[in-house]
Amino acid sequence: EMLDMIELGLSNPNFAYDGEFYTQPTTAINVRPVQRPYPPIWNASKDAESVGRAARKGYNQFFSSRFASLEELIPVRNFMDKTFLENGRDPDTMRLGLLSYCCINDDPAVIENYLENCRFQQRIARSLRERRESMEDDYWVAETPFDAEPTLEEAAAHALAGNVETVTERAVAIIKEVRPSHMTFYFQVGAVPNEVAVHSMVRWISEVMPSIEKAMGMPIDAINVPKPLSDAAD
């Protein structure tokens, strides 16, 4: 229903809404979007109803890999493909964004510290999302492990974290098997120093990207480009 109102508000001069959960008297969103009928919407949910709506409405899909292995990511993509087909849309038209942890460094101690900070962030985020947070000093969310939490060794085996060769190899595997059209990264999490994050960003651009292009045999902006919706029936 919230998405209903966003769509109505951005595509009409004014709107009203009477749903099961929300009732909105006539109002308007005064800041008008440049895009018509409304800007691209990215759906970060992985439940069937939300993905189905994304397929029908032309939304883009988005999800986080966290510490998941490639074997855990592939079924997510397969589920989205299946749901798109069930809702009458070619999965090849899907714009899929993937959010991943990423640290490129030759020092194992730097990688371990980065992964510890990733785990800290994931613990806080999951405790809030699952409504099981506990507070310290009346304002600080306590860091608590979550069920089936991977060890740092397991996280290190799957995350885009390591030297250039390791990150390139894992990124290429994700690009081939999960087929994201867009990738975005947590270069800095928790208390990771700025210089470590900048170092990763520089090496991603100067070393990892060229290596990916070489492995894929094409420029980075030509990889996994989705088919236009207008061509879906061709």
Tell me the three-class secondary structure of the chain, residue by residue.
CHHHHHHHHHHCCCEEEECCCCEEEEECCCCCCCCCCCCCCEECCCCHHHHHHHHHHCCEEEEECCCCCHHHHHHHHHHHHHHHHHCCCCHHHCCEEEEEEEEECCCHHHHHHHHHHHHHHHHHHHHHHCCCCCEECCCEECCCCCCCCCCHHHHHHHCEEECHHHHHHHHHHHHHHCCCCEEEEECCCCCCCHHHHHHHHHHHHHHHHHHHHHHHCCCHHHCCCCCCHHHCCC
Least confident segment among 69-78, 132-141, 143-152, 166-175:
132-141
Q: Rounded mean pLDDT of the chain?
A: 93
pLDDT of residue 141: 76
Comparing 234 with 88, the larger pLDDT belongs to 88
Comparing 232 with 142, the larger pLDDT belongs to 142
pLDDT of residue 231: 53
CATH topology of domain 40-227: TIM Barrel (3.20.20)
Q: What b-and-e string marks burial along 79-88, b requiring 16 or more CB atoms within 10 Å of the CB?
A: ebbebbeeee
Categorize the per-residue pLDDT at 138 as very low, low, confident or very high, splitting at 50, 70 and 90: confident
185 contact partners, CB below 8 Å, separation of at least 6: 99, 100, 101, 102, 160, 204
**Domain map (residue ranges) of the chain:** 1-38, 40-227
pTM of the model: 0.88
Whether the per-residue pLDDT at 94 is higher than 50: the answer is: yes
Alpha-carbon distance of 183 to 64, in angstroms, equals: 10
Q: What is the mean pLDDT of the segment spanning 198-205?
A: 99
Categorize the per-residue pLDDT at 90 as very low, low, confident or very high, splitting at 50, 70 and 90: very high
Q: What is the mean pLDDT of the segment spanning 6-27?
A: 96
Categorize the per-residue pLDDT at 233 as very low, low, confident or very high, splitting at 50, 70 and 90: very low
Alpha-carbon distance of 210 to 218, in angstroms, equals: 10
Place of tokens 């651009």: 205
Alpha-carbon distance of 61 to 46, in angstroms, equals: 9
CA-based nearest residue to 189, from 170, 151, 212, 161: 161
CA-based nearest residue to 226, from 90, 131, 117: 90
